[in-house]
Amino acid sequence: MLQCRSGPLVDIGSGDGRIVIAAAKEGFTAVGYELNPWLVWYSRYRAWREGVQASARFYISDLWKVTFSQYSNVVIFGVPQMMAQLEEKLELELQGDARVIACRFPFPHWTPAQVTGEGIDTVWAYDARSFRAGGGRP
């Protein structure tokens, strides 16, 4: 869902780093923010082992304290309870050319440009130009 796109990528809640590392291998400059320091240290080790440490960076951070305005590609696999608040935050912060990928749990108000997979493997892609132009919350 991010094929043919460029610009920096962020995985919000990057877990063991798999998305950021896969994105770096695809040529993105990719960043992960993760609350759990053990997972960040492990992610850094994995990135080094896979040779992408220069383009896959990880930070121990609370996602609610990070501003995402510099990212044009955003990936999130969170929990359902956070999606409404995160939707508002991203709507305020992202530039018009951004694309947001939500894994397993969709955003409550935005209309996806693309949906793929099924069941727990469903993924939604949202383009900022549609939710910033009034296609989002009433």
- Of 10, 23, 28, 34, the one binding ligand SAM (CB under 6 A) is 34
Looking at the Cβ atoms of 4 and 120, the one nearer to ligand SAM is 120
Q: Alpha helices, DSSP H only, in 17-127?
A: 18-25, 37-49, 83-93
Angle 40-103-84 from CA coordinates, rounded to 5°: 95
User: Which residues are CB-neighbours of 71 under 8 A, at least 6 positions away?
Assistant: 7, 8, 9, 10, 31, 94, 98
| Binder among 6, 26, 27, 35 for ligand SAM (CB under 6 A) | 35
Q: Is 36 in the site for ligand SAM (CB under 6 A)?
A: yes
Residues that bind ligand SAM (CB under 6 A): 11, 13-15, 18-19, 33-36, 39, 62-64, 77-78, 103
